[in-house]
Structure 1
Amino acid sequence: MPRKKRIWYPGASFHITSRGIRWTSLFGDKEDREEYLRLLAEVMAKKPFILQTYCLMRNHIHLQIKILQHSPC
């Protein structure tokens, strides 16, 4: 069952996590992590938010973000 859609409003803070299926690795090497961060920067350019903290581990990630502006979608 999917989770409910997050309410996106200026000043909102979120803790976002993602895990590999059955604790499998998300990142194979340093280049995978760098690509993830590149893609994250691309998303930040489209949907502005402050990346307060992040932690990229072998089999999961944590992001803490703060929203800068309202987004209709």
Structure 2
Amino acid sequence: MLSEKSKFVPSPMEMQNLIKPEMKQIIKHNCDEITSALIPQYFDPPIEQPQRAEIAYYRCQTDQVPAY
């Protein structure tokens, strides 16, 4: 909390000189000038033959060392 003795002192403001905006000609367009969105092309990937799990998920057997 602020004590009663301390007051808020705002930081000094800086002056900025903005450039004058340029005048431009307004151009009106017709809806016919706007291109329509292209229809997406769908493609079916080829059906692949299923793989056996032993081939697809091969795991090295070196971590299974017999205990003597």
Shared fold by TM > 0.5?
A: no
Q: What TM-score bracket applies, with the shorter chain setting the length?
A: under 0.3
Larger Rg: 2
Give the structure-1-normalised TM-score: 0.15
Higher helix share: 1
Higher relative contact order (CA closer than 8 Å, sequence separation 6+)? 1
More strand by share: 1
TM-score by length of 2: 0.16
